[in-house]
């Protein structure tokens, strides 16, 4: 193969593409990123997880800029869901991996957040070109060797590269180069959403929480983006798609009328009808996974690889986590430290495991006849977490159940310990048996034993961190698996006298292997 014009070409400037591109460029490689639109541009998926804010954003070096953007803080989530009619909350602070200063995430305007990430990719050396459209991959034998694309003037180009990263979203045509897509029959929903000024807020201190409210025909998201602007979306069965297309205004009015809590919260609100938030939009919310996430010379990231129902706001998390995994595999291959098969085998297994955990848990969560306690139990079952049921639930929906230290800011654990313990105690006290003004009832579900369990977990993590920082927290997810390199930008093989795999790690690996080999949505 001739010397490539670039080491890597990334298609798509959203969170997955900009994360991948930046982390590859940070390792010293030449990266071209092509984005078909001009930023800032509208995008849905506004409720982020701590794993993205305090993990990926810290890793990319944009934490300070994100903090200064004025996004709405999010302490957890509020659900009107399940057997009980009263709303209930979860707090990220329940988990020692997210407690203290990292016990919050943000509700973001994606136009602003995505531009921060794309501008950062430029800053670290990525050649970013907007209004450029990918046309087709270049191939030689069974390997992707580059990309055919057109620039903002419509002029055609061909660029050779060692790797092409497809992060172009759910409508990707390039992904067909890798294989076909498996759709979930269970989650074939459709979402109708818009933006409202003047809607009500949950009682403080939870006024920034996402509210997910189930009703007879589906569920609503209610995301406070600012003190007055709210993103509101109705997720319904695909059988409603025709109604949405014919008259979206009437459909949204009908859905709101049938969801009493949402109706109350929007009683004094007005829908935004001008600017980038001024229209009702439809999003096909089909959950799917590609049969393969990579082939020689090409890797899929974000919605090009997989998508799962958004009730736990996992879209940006899966995209940025996939970007981190892809970048590690690309960097390890380009440096010659690992062969392509092994590096991308680690990418595929970790990425598919993360998708599969959320998918399996959501199958249980959608059974609205169950109580909340069974949801949490299911979260523990599918994530194989060594934690209480409550902590397992919080770590799953916070995006840190993989144990990946890059998602949890492990370097700061020792410094945070004292403050984290206080925050954990406060979180448990606030969610005790007596229902608070914010509708929290979590303590009723789990009892006082959760305090001891969580504090023990905190002590274990503190001890690991004191023994060696971030790398002391890492474990191979699979018996023959890799671990992140010291700088986090690549993979490395655990030493022969390194960490022994626990019985739980082996159990998790066996579950992941079973999901990979037995078909279904994670096959």
pLDDT at 514 over 60: no
In a domain, 485, yes or no: no
- Residues 92/56, Cβ–Cβ less than 8 Å: no
Closest listed residue to residue 350, CA positions, set 424, 299, 281, 311: 299
pLDDT at 4 over 50: yes
Predicted TM-score (pTM) of the model is 0.81
- Helices marked H in 398-522: 413-430, 442-446, 449-468, 503-517
Distance from C-alpha of 453 to C-alpha of 231, rounded to nearest angstrom:
36
In a domain, 440, yes or no: no
Across 463-480, average pLDDT: 53
H or E element in which residue 323 lies: helix 315-334
108-112, 131-135, 510-514: which has the minimum mean pLDDT? 510-514
pLDDT, one tens digit per residue, over 64-80 is 999 999 999 998 888 88
- The DSSP result for 47-67, as a single string, is B--HIIIIIIHHHHT-HHHHH
- Residues 350/293, Cβ–Cβ less than 8 Å: no
Say which CATH number the domain at 269 has. 3.30.9.100
Across 51-65, average pLDDT: 90
In a domain, 104, yes or no: no
In a domain, 235, yes or no: yes
pLDDT for position 365: 72
pLDDT, one tens digit per residue, over 122-169 is 999 999 999 999 999 999 999 999 999 999 999 999 999 999 999 999
Domain ranges, residue 277: 189-285
Distance from C-alpha of 195 to C-alpha of 210, rounded to nearest angstrom:
14
In a domain, 206, yes or no: yes
- Residues 232/199, Cβ–Cβ less than 8 Å: yes
pLDDT, one tens digit per residue, over 436-455 is 333 333 333 333 333 333 33
Helices (runs of H) and strands (runs of E) counted in the chain: 16, 23
**Phi, psi angle pair for 498, to nearest 5°:** -85, -150
- Residues 15/57, Cβ–Cβ less than 8 Å: no
pLDDT at 229 over 60: yes
Place of tokens 């070109």: 129
Distance from C-alpha of 475 to C-alpha of 472, rounded to nearest angstrom:
8
In a domain, 161, yes or no: no
Domain count, the chain: 1
In a domain, 227, yes or no: yes
Across 251-262, average pLDDT: 94
Across 240-256, average pLDDT: 88
In a domain, 207, yes or no: yes
pLDDT at 379 over 90: no
pLDDT for position 501: 36
Please, what's the b/e burial string for 450-482 (b: 16 or more CB within 10 A of its CB; e: otherwise)?
Answer: bbeebbebbeebbebbeeebbbbbbbbbbeebb
Across 363-369, average pLDDT: 63
Distance from C-alpha of 200 to C-alpha of 219, rounded to nearest angstrom:
18
pLDDT for position 510: 40
Distance from C-alpha of 369 to C-alpha of 382, rounded to nearest angstrom:
20
Distance from C-alpha of 458 to C-alpha of 417, rounded to nearest angstrom:
8
pLDDT at 251 over 80: yes
What residues does 433 pair with on adjacent strands?
Answer: none
- The DSSP result for 293-307, as a single string, is SEETTEEE-GGGTEE
């Amino acid at each position: 193969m001739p010397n490539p014009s670039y080491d890597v070409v990334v298609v798509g400037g959203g969170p997955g593409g900009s994360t991948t591109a930046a982390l590859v460029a940070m390792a010293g490689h030449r990266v071209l990123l092509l984005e078909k639109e001009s930023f800032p541009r509208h995008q849905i998926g506004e409720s982020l997880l701590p794993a993205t804010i305090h993990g990926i954003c810290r890793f990319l070096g944009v934490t300070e800029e994100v903090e200064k953007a004025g996004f709405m803080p999010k302490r957890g989530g509020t659900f009107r869901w399940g057997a009980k009619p009263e709303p209930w909350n979860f707090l990220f602070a329940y988990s020692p991996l997210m407690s203290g200063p990292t016990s919050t995430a943000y509700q973001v305007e994606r136009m602003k957040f995505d531009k921060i990430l794309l501008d950062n990719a430029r800053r670290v050396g990525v050649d970013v070109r907007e209004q450029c459209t990918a046309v087709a991959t270049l191939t030689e034998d069974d390997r992707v060797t580059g990309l055919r694309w057109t620039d903002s003037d419509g002029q055609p180009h061909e660029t050779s590269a060692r790797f092409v990263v497809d992060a172009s979203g759910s409508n990707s045509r390039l992904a067909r180069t890798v294989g076909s897509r498996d759709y979930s029959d269970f989650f074939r929903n459709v979402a109708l959403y818009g933006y409202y000024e003047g809607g009500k807020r949950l009682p403080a201190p939870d006024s920034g929480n996402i509210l997910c409210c189930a009703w007879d025909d589906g569920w609503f998201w209610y995301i406070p983006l600012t003190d007055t602007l709210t993103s509101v979306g109705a997720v319904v069965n695909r059988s409603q798609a025709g109604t949405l297309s014919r008259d979206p205004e009437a459909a949204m009015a009908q859905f709101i009328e049938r969801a009493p809590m949402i109706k109350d919260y929007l009683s004094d609100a007005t829908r935004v009808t001008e600017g980038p938030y001024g229209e009702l939009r439809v999003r096909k919310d089909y959950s799917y996974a590609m049969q393969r996430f990579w082939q020689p010379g090409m890797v899929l990231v974000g919605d090009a690889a997989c998508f799962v129902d958004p009730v736990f706001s996992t879209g940006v998390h899966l995209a940025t986590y996939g970007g981190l995994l892809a970048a590690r595999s690309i960097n390890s291959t380009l440096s010659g430290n690992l062969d392509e098969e092994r590096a991308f085998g680690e990418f595929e297994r970790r990425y598919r495991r993360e998708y599969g955990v959320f998918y399996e848990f959501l199958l249980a969560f959608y059974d609205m006849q169950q109580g909340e306690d069974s949801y949490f139990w299911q979260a523990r079952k599918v994530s194989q977490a060594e934690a209480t049921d409550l902590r397992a639930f919080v770590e799953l929906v916070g995006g840190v159940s993989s144990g990946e230290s890059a998602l949890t800011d492990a370097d700061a654990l020792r410094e945070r310990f004292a403050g984290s313990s206080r925050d954990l105690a406060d979180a448990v006290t606030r969610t005790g048996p007596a229902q608070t003004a914010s509708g929290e009832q979590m303590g009723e579900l789990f009892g006082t034993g959760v305090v001891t369990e969580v504090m023990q977990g905190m002590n274990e993590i503190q001890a690991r961190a004191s023994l060696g920082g971030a790398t002391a927290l890492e474990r191979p997810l699979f018996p023959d698996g890799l671990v992140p390199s010291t700088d986090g930008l690549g993979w490395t093989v655990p030493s022969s006298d390194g960490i022994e795999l626990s019985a739980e790690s082996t159990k998790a690996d066996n579950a992941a292997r079973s999901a990979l080999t037995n078909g279904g949505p994670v096959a």
